[in-house]
Chains A and B, each alone.
Chain A
């Protein structure tokens, strides 16, 4: 089953290129990996007439620079490339303005984009679904990305849509990033099946503290994101796949995790993560990896370093509000993907413990486990956890708070209003997100 990736804006195109690269690198066929690799290749690439591999991707941006870079980088590697005609760009960019992207540029270029997507879809034997990849801070990824997601929803109502979002540094990359983020999230909540989020702040820490990278560039950040995404999306043996690799990763992920329309925010963490040079000298055991991962989950820590071991499950009668620091992170649903050696002997009972989950979902429904005996991306053993929990509550709340403060003084509003938005549109988006924040805050186990 094939996934069509739609790379939107600068970030989407850069992360997407890293993702395809990571997946390709993971696909070196050897012995038992053959079915795995075939399945992975079919999922993300198609064969060209000359026998090469072409990514199942549509590249969209309102300025040409990044698409050119991504396409050149891919082609230069000689290993895989993007389709020559699978991209669309303009010259002026979106001016970091969501309204410009969503109300003007999206509709203006709708037909071209739909055509590109349709071609990709038709080349799939069986369509698993779409993965639009974008950032929320700028104008194209956020605005045009939201519009494109809406078009996908209209034209392919039966297909799964998993949006991958990159949230910006809290300290600010774009001055109006909080507006753009709020507007994007509020709209996507209605359109998307699930929203998988990576935060630049978190990934930056992983690069600096775990991977010892100095200085950290966006390319390093994208590499980590690609590694984590690959850990989720590469083929695995799932409860539904009956011993074969070919399932629908998007569909199974969505049905495992997006159990309620009010709760769609997913975050990812992966263990272990270490500099490539250290991997050869490290030994991994499943009990240790899983113990760390579980504690990372309940203490809402995104890395193996600095885990707060003090956080523990509350007594049965305890009720903890999600926003207080040091408190316990309640999950709705978790998906654990184990890859590598001895994967069938790994003991995952800790994740099926009902006290980690909300009371209204039984833990057999809430916890899903996928396995693959094939080691992923050079790690002999690795575990990826995709969680629908309160993990994103605090960053979301911060984002809404800052946007609201700006909105209260109507700063920059004229820039959005001139592209056809009104204050009501803003208020609607704020209301939607406050509802989401409230829902997540109210979770208790």
Chain B
């Protein structure tokens, strides 16, 4: 089985990451009754026996000694990481996986990307390399960060481009937290748009998460298995957009136990699903059902759902189903839907508007331009990148109502 490394950057990234590790351990504890280090555990954790002299890594099939997360934690201030190291998860990380500084990035993308990015480049690459060397077969990097701040946004996207440079063959999947409308960081539109451009260039796949949506879900749900912090919930219509203009690559199906980038808690009522899913145009739709579904009955229900979803003309059957017989902790069933569709477009358009409002007045721009290596052209390029992305989605949506004829085929002279 293959392994994945989680890279959590910034305050938000580390807080969400922390919930992820907590949840991952619970899920494995729930299922792994014999205390053996199996392949499922191996994809996110190392098994370390500190009594051994050679560094202690154990193989699959041994008893569990100490589980260490396959992770790199980066933050330019110490608060959050220190909290993690004092909390119940302290054993899961060791000091070689952490990179911290004291002063933070001041909610400034340029500070994160350029200043800290250059200063810590070697150190970051070193830690990533160490993490990947512990892996038998590294399949992908998961990056968790927020878009609105300075470290997660700036340094996070710098790490992303480093990942592409140093590990070009390894898939990069990014979970990005987008700021909500009433976000208290004034410069979050700048940071988000600048970061978006990096995502478009360097990420293989992006799972955007909106804080506002998370709050809505929290309010709706009666019983939350974790504390009030909505750090690890994915909304049912969260979308995947790939790095290349919104056309997602063929997804690699995740092994069910490992599909825990965020909680698989989904209380989708049929009503909600119908409403939410009918508006956008779909490029691709993947569903992982976590319970003992019979393949046939699941096929039937997806057959019923599929015709209600408008797909693009060139990908009419872009539907993939996965089944897993192990439900998540605390639930009898769960359903995860991953969709690459155009419903992310309004979010981007809102973001563009907020950016334009600030940029027109050149508000706060001097904080960015003071940073070594930062120029106004970077802003312009990021803006045009976002605009062309929105155009592509517009284009897809425009094809929704029209019946597109088949493309004319090659003719063979007889």
A405 touches B297 (CB 8 A): no
Say yes or no for B35: interface residue by CB 8 A criterion. no
B406 / chain A contacts, CB cutoff of 8 Å: 401, 404-405
A401 / chain B contacts, CB cutoff of 8 Å: 406, 409
A437 / chain B contacts, CB cutoff of 8 Å: 412
A435 touches B412 (CB 8 A): yes
Contact A408 to B407, CB < 8 A, known contacts A91-B136, A92-B2, A97-B250: yes
Closest to A218 in B: B295
B314 touches A405 (CB 8 A): yes
| A395-445 contacts to B (CB < 8 Å) | 400-402, 404-409, 411-412, 414-415, 430-431, 434-435, 437-438, 442
Select the residue from B294, B313, B317 with max chain A CB neighbours within 10 A. B317
A431 touches B284 (CB 8 A): no
B297 / chain A contacts, CB cutoff of 8 Å: 215
Q: How far is the CA of A97 from the CA of B249 in the complex (A)?
A: 10
Say yes or no for B403: interface residue by CB 8 A criterion. no
Give A79-112 as 1s and 0s: 1 = Cβ < 8 Å from B's Cβ atoms: 0000000000001110111000000000000000
Q: How far is the CA of A61 from the CA of B407 in the complex (A)?
A: 35
Q: How far is the CA of A442 from the CA of B414 in the complex (A)?
A: 9
A215 touches B295 (CB 8 A): yes
Q: How far is the CA of A412 from the CA of B139 in the complex (A)?
A: 20
Q: Looking at the assembled complex, report how far the CB atom of B244 sits from the nearest CB atom of chain A, in whole angstroms.
A: 6
| A122-176 contacts to B (CB < 8 Å) | 171-176
B314 / chain A contacts, CB cutoff of 8 Å: 405-406, 408-409, 411
Say yes or no for B324: interface residue by CB 8 A criterion. no
Give the contacting residue for A174; candidates B1, B136, B320; CB below 8 A.
B320
A216 touches B412 (CB 8 A): no
B317 / chain A contacts, CB cutoff of 8 Å: 171-172, 175, 402
Q: Looking at the assembled complex, report how far the CB atom of B323 sits from the nearest CB atom of chain A, in whole angstroms.
A: 11
Contact A175 to B410, CB < 8 A, known contacts A92-B2, A92-B137: no
Q: How far is the CA of A431 from the CA of B412 in the complex (A)?
A: 8
Q: Looking at the assembled complex, report how far the CB atom of B175 sits from the nearest CB atom of chain A, in whole angstroms.
A: 21
A430 / chain B contacts, CB cutoff of 8 Å: 410
A175 / chain B contacts, CB cutoff of 8 Å: 250, 284, 315, 317-320
Select the residue from B295, B312, B313, B412 with max chain A CB neighbours within 10 A. B412
Give how many A-B residue pairs fall within 8 Å (CB-CB).
79
Q: Looking at the assembled complex, report how far the CB atom of B301 sits from the nearest CB atom of chain A, in whole angstroms.
A: 13
Q: How far is the CA of A215 from the CA of B412 in the complex (A)?
A: 43
| B277-317 contacts to A (CB < 8 Å) | 284, 294-297, 312-317
B40 / chain A contacts, CB cutoff of 8 Å: none
Q: How far is the CA of A408 from the CA of B406 in the complex (A)?
A: 9
B295 touches A95 (CB 8 A): no
Q: How far is the CA of A411 from the CA of B318 in the complex (A)?
A: 11
Closest to A408 in B: B407
Q: How far is the CA of A401 from the CA of B313 in the complex (A)?
A: 13
Q: How far is the CA of A175 from the CA of B407 in the complex (A)?
A: 19
Closest to A406 in B: B314
Say yes or no for B366: interface residue by CB 8 A criterion. no
Give the contacting residue for B319; candidates A93, A172, A402, A411; CB below 8 A.
A172
Say yes or no for A214: interface residue by CB 8 A criterion. yes
Contact A412 to B412, CB < 8 A, known contacts A172-B317, A405-B314: no
Say yes or no for B58: interface residue by CB 8 A criterion. no
Contact A438 to B414, CB < 8 A, known contacts A175-B315, A411-B314: yes
| A217-248 contacts to B (CB < 8 Å) | 217
Closest to B303 in A: A171
B410 touches A431 (CB 8 A): yes
Q: How many residues of B contact A (CB 8 A)?
A: 31
Q: How far is the CA of A84 from the CA of B407 in the complex (A)?
A: 50
B362 / chain A contacts, CB cutoff of 8 Å: none
B249 touches A412 (CB 8 A): yes
Say yes or no for B247: interface residue by CB 8 A criterion. yes
Q: How far is the CA of A28 from the CA of B207 in the complex (A)?
A: 57
Give B373-414 as 1s and 0s: 1 = Cβ < 8 Å from A's Cβ atoms: 000000000000000000000000000000000110111101
Closest to B244 in A: A414
Say yes or no for B252: interface residue by CB 8 A criterion. yes
Contact A415 to B412, CB < 8 A, known contacts A175-B320, A409-B314: no
A173 / chain B contacts, CB cutoff of 8 Å: 320
Give the contacting residue for B252; candidates A95, A406, A435; CB below 8 A.
A95
Q: Looking at the assembled complex, report how far the CB atom of A140 sits from the nearest CB atom of chain B, in whole angstroms.
A: 13
Closest to A171 in B: B317
Q: Looking at the assembled complex, report how far the CB atom of B132 sits from the nearest CB atom of chain A, in whole angstroms.
A: 14
B296 touches A215 (CB 8 A): yes
B407 touches A404 (CB 8 A): yes
A404 / chain B contacts, CB cutoff of 8 Å: 406-407, 409-410
Q: Looking at the assembled complex, report how far the CB atom of B180 sits from the nearest CB atom of chain A, in whole angstroms.
A: 33
A414 touches B249 (CB 8 A): yes
A431 / chain B contacts, CB cutoff of 8 Å: 410
Contact A434 to B412, CB < 8 A, known contacts A215-B294, A411-B247, A414-B244: yes
Closest to A215 in B: B296
B409 touches A434 (CB 8 A): yes
Sample of 8 A–B contacts (CB below 8 Å): A91-B137, A97-B250, A174-B250, A175-B284, A402-B316, A405-B314, A409-B312, A412-B249
Q: Which residues of B contact A (CB under 8 A)?
A: 1-2, 136-137, 139, 244, 247, 249-250, 252, 284, 294-297, 312-320, 406-407, 409-412, 414
Further 17 A-B residue pairs, CB within 8 A, beyond A175-B315, A414-B247: A91-B1, A95-B250, A171-B317, A172-B318, A174-B250, A175-B319, A215-B296, A405-B313, A409-B312, A409-B314, A411-B314, A411-B315, A414-B249, A431-B410, A434-B411, A435-B412, A438-B412
